[in-house]
A and B are shown apart, each in its own frame.
Chain A
Amino acid sequence: MEDLTVETLIAVSEEIFGRLTFWLLVLLALAITGLFLWTLWRDGGVSSRRFLLAQLWFPPGAIAMVGFMLWMTSSRLTDIGGPIDWIALLGLGIWGGVGAVMWAYALGGLARRRPPA
């Protein structure tokens, strides 16, 4: 890669997803993050019970992310070769897991007006 700039990364991402889909995904991610922060603000902190329940979504989110990537790239878990592959796999899993937890927490916050005492 000759010059890996933010502009190049955005241009490449637009090509991967299509310009419209890419920016819709960015908006969706921002919306979920915003919703997450809003529930924190509204509840005046983290609702421990909802957060605990939301964390149950971590494993399915991680597995779904890794599975989606393997499916999309015609590869299998046995293709993991070197240390960087394990790091990439873990990174993907954490990404999917954290994303799922944030979704679950934010959506749970929407469904329930007030946190349990």
Chain B
Amino acid sequence: MRRLDTAGLNRRSVLGLAAAGGAAAVLPGPARAAASRVASNARIVILGAGAGGAAIANRLAARLEGASITIVDGRKDHWYQPGFTLIAAGLKPAAYSVSATDLWLPEGITWLPEYAASIDPVAQRVTTVSGHALDYDYLILATGLVLDWAAIEGFDLAQVGQNGLGAVYAGPEHAAATWRAMDDFTRKGGTALFGRPPTEMKCAGAPLKYTFITDDYARRRGTRADSNLIYAAHNDTLFSVPIVNEKVKLLYRDRGVDTRWNHVLKAVDPAARQAVFDTPEGETSLDYDFINVIPPQRAPQVVRDAGLSWGDRWTDQGWIEVDPATLRHLRYPNVFGVGDINGVPKGKTAASVKWQVPVVEDHLVADIQGREGTQRYNGYTSCPLITRIGRAMLVEFDYDNNLTPSFPGIIAPLEELWVSWLMKEIALKPTYNAMLRGKA
């Protein structure tokens, strides 16, 4: 992979370097892909070098010969986001989730280390914040999403870790700071608040897991009797898949988690340790000693401004208008989406990325060859739902709320198991890394 220093480069030289990088992309890839390499001079721009961007870049670099692939992302660090829960559980250091972006990008592509400022899907051009214009034949949106912290009044990221304020989603350091606050809470007891935003969100199981983990620590430390754990659900369910919802309800009853329905977090007062919720009956306040704040989640502004979002769905969130099965944009067929940015009913997890990437690869390469792709994404997503340190439920499902267990008859999806925990602890990150390299 070639990293592009943008200082002093104009568009022509950027494209020249990209083309040179593309021409050099004839390194042997996985045997499977090498067998079916496709010659092409297509210009492919990938926005975002996270899980989806890095994985599709590796797959395409191995699959295409002569294509110019440019990946645009200003972030130097790559975050293994499924690890945030383990960091916030005190089991891993913040560094567990951090690596360098360029570690995961293949040879023969060009990395432009800056952010996109605008996307023009009609002119087929992306312009970066420093003014470089990138013309493309194919655009892959793998931007991820933005956490709208400003939507929670009174919340300040700088205060995470103090006054019982937690924010697991904010990043590895904030997850570690959240652990300090949760650690302190479970030694003393009091009231802890958990919940989720009313928007689509990444890994909807994470807020549930963190409640279970906090409960477990309080029990181990003998403070559970002095603790009140409240889960404030944004609607009248804990999880969108009905059978999983019922199971988690049973477990929360068993663990003594106090569940409140139709509570949407609106504001926090860190000094007074008070949270304000919107409910159907009006505003209500709850005092807390510890809180894990998860804000509303939306598409990045640059994507929303590009006119790529759904016009009639998720209008306050801006997810892109793709076919749920092919992940191809419904109005701009040379635009694809991978990961959190996709406007599909489920699938904002790394497991979904793993299943989405081969589908996008198939349809994009088929288009280059002048045929139709055949692969379909069924909405598969997976959530190792930790129910205590040492046990988890391996929950996997699709668009239609069917359970889709990877090991049917062997690993029961709704059973709290040690082997499911082992998978989360040992196998998940290596599988994720292999996926980034295009090998899983």
Asked if B406 lies at the interface with its beta carbon under 8 angstroms from chain A, I say yes
- B434:A15 contact, CB within 8 angstroms: yes
B430 proximity list for chain A (CB < 8 A): 12-16
- The residue that B422 contacts in the complex, of A8, A13, A73, with Cβ under 8 A, is A73
What is the minimal beta-carbon distance from B327 to any residue of chain A, in angstroms? 15
Output the least CB separation between B85 and chain A (Å). Answer: 13
Tell me if A88 is interfacial: C-beta within 8 Å of chain B.
Answer: yes
Is there an interface contact between B431 and A73, defined as CB atoms closer than 8 Å?
no
Give chain A residues whose Cβ lies under 8 Å from the Cβ of B421. 73, 75, 79
- A79 vs B30: C-alpha distance when bound (angstroms): 38
Q: Is the CB of B418 within 8 A of A79?
A: yes
- The answer, yes or no, to whether B354 is at the interface (CB within 8 Å) is yes
CB-CB under 8 A for A7 and B417, given A12-B430, A12-B431: no
Which of A15, A72, A73, A89 touches B433 (beta carbons < 8 Å)? A15
B residues less than 8 Å from A15 (CB atoms): 429-431, 433-434
> Which residue on chain A has the smallest CB distance to residue B437?
A11
Separation in Å of the A54 CB from the closest CB of chain B? 29
Complex Cα distance, B430 from A12, in Å, reads: 5
A56 to B418, CA, bound (A): 29
| Complex: chain A residue closest to B421, CB-CB | A75
Complex CA–CA separation, A74 to B392 (angstroms): 13
Q: Is B410 in contact with chain A by the CB < 8 A criterion?
A: yes
Assess whether B440 is in contact with A12, with CB atoms less than 8 Å apart.
Answer: yes
Assess whether B390 is in contact with A79, with CB atoms less than 8 Å apart.
Answer: yes
Q: Quick check: is A81 within 8 A (CB to CB) of the other chain?
A: yes
Q: With A7-B32, A8-B439, A11-B437 given, is the CB distance from A75 to B390 under 8 Å? A: yes
Interface residues of A in 50-82 (CB under 8 A from B): 69, 72-76, 78-82
Total interface residues in chain A, CB < 8 Å: 25
B403-431 to A contact mask, C-beta < 8 Å, 1/0: 00010001110011111011001110111
Q: Is A1 an interface residue (CB 8 A)?
A: yes
Contact A12 B427 (CB under 8 A): yes
Q: Verify B434–A8 contact, CB threshold 8 A.
A: yes
Contact partners of A117 in chain B: CB under 8 A: none
Interfacial chain B residues near A13, Cβ < 8 Å: 430
> Distance (Å) between the CB of B409 and the closest chain A CB?
10
Bound CA span A12–B431, Å = 5
Whether B439 lies near A74 (C-beta < 8 A) is no
Which of A's residues lie within 8 Å of B, judged by CB? 1-2, 7-8, 11-16, 69, 72-76, 78-82, 84-85, 88-89
Which B positions have Cβ atoms within 8 angstroms of A?
A: 30-32, 91, 354-355, 358, 380, 388-391, 406, 410-412, 415-419, 421-422, 425-427, 429-431, 433-434, 437, 439-440
Closest 10 CB pairs of A and B: A79-B390, A15-B430, A75-B390, A11-B434, A11-B439, A85-B418, A15-B433, A73-B425, A16-B430, A1-B406
